[in-house]
Structure formats: structure tokens, C-alpha cells
Amino acid sequence: MAERTTAGRGDFLSRGGQYEYRTLTIPRTTDGNDARRMLTYEAEYGRWELARTRMYVGGERRVLLRRKIIRVQSTLGADLD
């Protein structure tokens, strides 16, 4: 049986991992339930995770989302012994 280890964010970055980022601006007229629903949708279907949330004086919210960039290596030229 293979041994499993839990890798944190620092471990992912130290192994050369990268994130892509997306900024959402939520207007002050949007209530909390609608904002939560929108962020839940992005997390479930877009594979985004919440990186930072800022609320400004006027009530506007800016949300920074991130997700891991996964690079796939081709196995077409690999020796299949």
C-alpha cells in the first residue's frame, strides 16, 4: 500500500506549482446569499478556491479566486515496457 502525505500550499509552490488568478467584483446591491451562491458555483464548476476577499467603504466586494495550473506531460513517446 502506498503511503499518503498531505501537501500544503507551500509544498505545492516549492515543487514548481503555479496558480492562475481571477478577480470578481461584486456590487454593493448584491445581497450576501446571492454572492455566496455565485462563489459556490465558481468553486464547484470552475474549480476555483477563495484566495482573498476585500470589502470597500461603499459596500463593493472584490474577491480574488485562484486555481492550480496542472500541466500534463505527454506519454506518447515513452517506452512502454
In a domain, 78, yes or no: no
Q: What pLDDT is recorded for position 61? A: 95
pLDDT 10s digits, 42-77: 999 999 999 999 999 999 999 999 999 887 777 887
Assess contact for 14 and 59: CB atoms under 8 A.
no
Q: What pLDDT is recorded for position 5? A: 44
Q: What pLDDT is recorded for position 2? A: 42
Structural domain containing residue 60: 18-69
In a domain, 6, yes or no: no
In a domain, 28, yes or no: yes
Q: Give how many domains the chain has, as a whole number.
A: 1
Task: Tell me, yes or no, if the pTM score tops 0.85.
Answer: no
Longest dimension (CA), the chain: 64
In a domain, 77, yes or no: no
Calpha distance 4→35 (Å, rounded): 36
| Average pLDDT, rounded, for the chain | 82
